Structure 1
Amino acid sequence: MQKLNKEVVRKKGIYLLPNLFTTAGLFSGFYAVIASMNGFFELASIAIFVAMLWDGLDGRVARMTNTQSDFGAEYDSMSDMVSFGVAPALLAYNWGLFELGKIGWLAAFIFCAGAALRLARFNTQVGVEDKKYFQGLASPGAAAVIAGSVWLGSENGIKGDEISWLVALLTSLLGLLMVSNFRYYSFKDVNWRGKVNFLTILLMVGVFVLISIEPAFILCLIFYLYALSGPIVTIHSIRRLKRSVSMAGKSDEKDNGPSA
């Protein structure tokens, strides 16, 4: 009986390492909220990117150390909602949407609601959807577009209220992309444990050096291209599917044509 009780207590415990990374991501997202409320928009943007780093580590650490749990999955979703839903929405609102009044906070709410719906849909499709692609823009990617835009604008002296309508359009569009059916490459099929050649390592070093030169511009460019990749990949896939169906139909017509 004592051994059984000890096993039950052990199962009810919480794994420290992956949840520590999740907590770090949650802290970064919360800090981004506080920083944006106090007008430190550049720091808030950087904090969102830091939250992305922690978010990318917690799941991989859990899988590598075999410490996955239902609690960790739920905790990660709650952390993502703060870091990639609430934080970027408030950052966009405080930086460039405040002057628009109701339209401004509605645009921020569309982003926040889109992130919540995206996370809920992802949680219900775990183990069902194609792991190679995301359905809809992932909330960290959408948050990175907002954070990168604000960071780049702040560095170049651009005030959000000067381009408030553009910020509202971007924020609303990102919210809609998160709940869209566009397919985005997930990078989950990359074998991070596998061996690579020396040239790949040099390329990775080059990428880090390039980002360090102009981090705001490079990160903003990368995530804008990623946000645009979904519609491009999906439209290309649909056209290729239509072309293959058309070719199959023509071949069937030739096979079933009139015989001499």
Structure 2
Amino acid sequence: MTQSKRKGIYLLPNLLTTAGLFSGFFAVVSSMNGRFEAAAIAIFVAMIFDGLDGRVARMTNTQSEFGAEYDSMADMVSFGMAPALVSYNWALSELGKIGWLAAFIYVAGAALRLARFNTQIGIADKRYFQGLASPAAAALVAGLVWVGVEYDVNGHDYGIIVALLTGVAGLLMVSNFKYNSFKEVDWHGKVPFVALLAVLLVFIIVATEPALVLFVVFALYACAGPINTFRSVETIRLEDVVGDPIDEDADFQQRNEEKSPSEKNPADKPSEK
């Protein structure tokens, strides 16, 4: 009689996911106490843990359905609720309905983005993200708050601008704009020695003004999606911006399969050579 498989969860990847969840929760609590710099930094820390848990799970062969679901729920807190509440507490609370609506647009966009991502695992083009990834959107909002605190800016004085950026970040997450995922980069390959010097230079630049540099980087990345999309299509359609994108190749294949054998073009038959 074989022994039944022991039930449980893998500790290491879920521990990293929990650390990311804690960072997002800490960001919310810090913003409620007026510690906006700590709140913004905590969101960036959550991004680090979010990037580690999946890679550690693959490296240690500890992937599981529980881990995937837990990671998605943790992302909703760290990159959905936390950035919206930090932005609201810093700059949007005095705008009334406009303020909380802008924050809600961001939260709804993050929820829809994560739901769509989960349903497209295994079928989406790994080279691109469809819509702005929720960690990048969170970094954009948190980076703005961090820059404002760094330069002693009163967020309530620029509430409309913050509301606009927060709402746009939420809409970009549910858009069809193509964003490079950088998953095709060979991280195991060899690079010239000068590449290491370039990496060191990047670290030095980030260390000098981390808030400003990170905000500019993620702002440029947010703008790259529309640029990539507009450059890759000849005529911009509504499906290229929002909604269900039309896959012309799949549509052609479906129509071709519905034809009777006599209607099919002989050139469509597989080669017998």
**TM-score higher than 0.5:** yes
Q: How big is the shift at 1:240?
A: 9.1
Which aligned pairs between 1:7-18 and structure 2 lie closer than 5 A? 8-9=5-6, 12-18=7-13
Q: How big is the shift at 1:16?
A: 1.2
Aligned partner of 2:29 in structure 1 is 34
Which aligned pairs between 1:115-126 and structure 2 lie closer than 5 A? 115-126=110-121
Q: How big is the shift at 1:192?
A: 2.1
Q: How big is the shift at 1:42?
A: 0.5
Q: Matched residues in 1 for 2:12 and 2:144: separation? A: 32
Q: How big is the shift at 1:142?
A: 0.4
Deviates more, 1:142-151 or 1:231-240: 231-240
Please state whether the residue corresponding to 1:191 is helix, strand or coil. coil
Q: Quick check: 1:210 aligned with 2:208?
A: no
User: Residues 240 and 64 (structure 1 numbering): CA distance in 2 closer, same or farther, change over 3 Å?
Assistant: farther
Q: Quick check: 1:133 aligned with 2:116?
A: no
Q: Quick check: 1:55 aligned with 2:55?
A: no
Aligned partner of 1:233 in structure 2 is 228
The total of aligned residue pairs comes to 237
Which aligned pairs between 1:165-184 and structure 2 lie closer than 5 A? 165-184=160-179
Which consecutive unaligned segments of at least 5 residues does structure 1 have?
A: 242-260
Which aligned pairs between 1:3-152 and structure 2 lie closer than 5 A? 3-5=2-4, 8-9=5-6, 12-152=7-147
Aligned partner of 1:159 in structure 2 is 154
Q: Matched residues in 2 for 1:240 and 1:203: separation? A: 38
Note the alpha carbon deviations across 1:70-112, whole angstroms, 9 max, x for none.
Answer: 1110010011000000000001100110001111111100000
Which consecutive unaligned segments of at least 5 residues does structure 2 have?
A: 237-273
What is the letter of the counterpart of residue 153 of structure 2?
I
Aligned partner of 1:256 in structure 2 is none
Q: How big is the shift at 1:239?
A: 3.1
Q: Matched residues in 2 for 1:38 and 1:113: separation? A: 25
Q: Aligned-residue CA RMSD in angstroms?
A: 1.4
What is the letter of the counterpart of residue 32 of structure 2?
M
Please state whether the residue corresponding to 2:233 is helix, strand or coil. helix
Identity of aligned residues (%): 67
What is the letter of the counterpart of residue 206 of structure 1?
L
Please state whether the residue corresponding to 1:89 is helix, strand or coil. helix
